[in-house]
Structure 1
């Protein structure tokens, strides 16, 4: 038996912008495949963010819901400079819920939503 689990991110017309932002901000990231609808929006894309698999789509159907901070992408960094660089890129035009700081459980931690409403938690690995 084989089981494959991937995070699925659904946008409404902004998937390409999100893909471009995420793959440029996170080191070792790539677009594996992409299929477009006739209007140019993304039917389905498979991307990796530092080796982790994601499916990204533009929904052709309008929904009454969007992303929630209760579900977030948690990223652990070994270098503070990389954490800060990724944070600065991804948090632009977003909303910071917990500013970059020492919260006791981590010397450097930040929790924010990006410009698309996707929630991110960035954490510096303990030494």
Structure 2
């Protein structure tokens, strides 16, 4: 039986930029492991794979030298339960920079404060104040 579950995000060359960005947005975050492409591989020296901790959630970021006909979609998102409206607003503002708001930070019938943001890498984040 599986005992660990991760979100896996595949990037086409900008996984290291995404990793640094997420570390800057979320204070309670760290790199658990990372691996770089060998000098004999495509993308030599670039980040190949990293395991990132955001709070208690683990995310794997991978880089691929291959171009794909697909990318991220808002139908799959990372859901963040925030401790305060101020925290939610700060995350939303940072994540939306260079990206976009799908739903702006506001009060909705289902939440006292909520925002849905797509970051500059195309990753979708749902931020909620329970």
Same fold (TM over 0.5): yes
Structure 2 unpaired stretches of 5+? none
Return the alpha-carbon distance in structure 2 between the equivalents of residues 45 and 91 of structure 1: 23
Q: TM-score, normalised by structure 2?
A: 0.91
Answer with 75-84 or 64-73: which moved more. Answer: 75-84
Distance in 2 (alpha carbons) for counterparts of 1:111 and 1:87: 8
**1:40, distance to aligned residue in structure 2 (A):** 2.6
Q: Are 2:78 and 1:76 aligned?
A: no
What is the aligned partner in structure 2 of residue 30 from structure 1?
Answer: 30
Shift of 1:51: 2.1
Q: Are 1:122 and 2:105 counterparts? A: no
Q: 2: distance between equivalents of 1:112 and 1:28?
A: 19
- 1:33-112 to 2 correspondence within 5 Å? 33-37=33-37, 38=39, 39-112=44-117
Structure 1: runs of 5 or more not aligned: none
How much does 1:2 deviate? 4.2
1:121 Cα deviation after fit: 0.5
Q: CA shift at 1:86, angstroms? A: 1.2
Provide the rounded CA distance (Å) in 2 between the counterparts of 1:57 and 1:83: 27
SS, match of residue 108 in structure 2? coil
Secondary structure at the aligned position of 1:87 is classed as: helix
Determine the structure 1 residue equivalent to 2:6.
6
- Number of equivalent positions: 125
> Which 4+ residue blocks in structure 1 deviate beyond 3 angstroms?
none
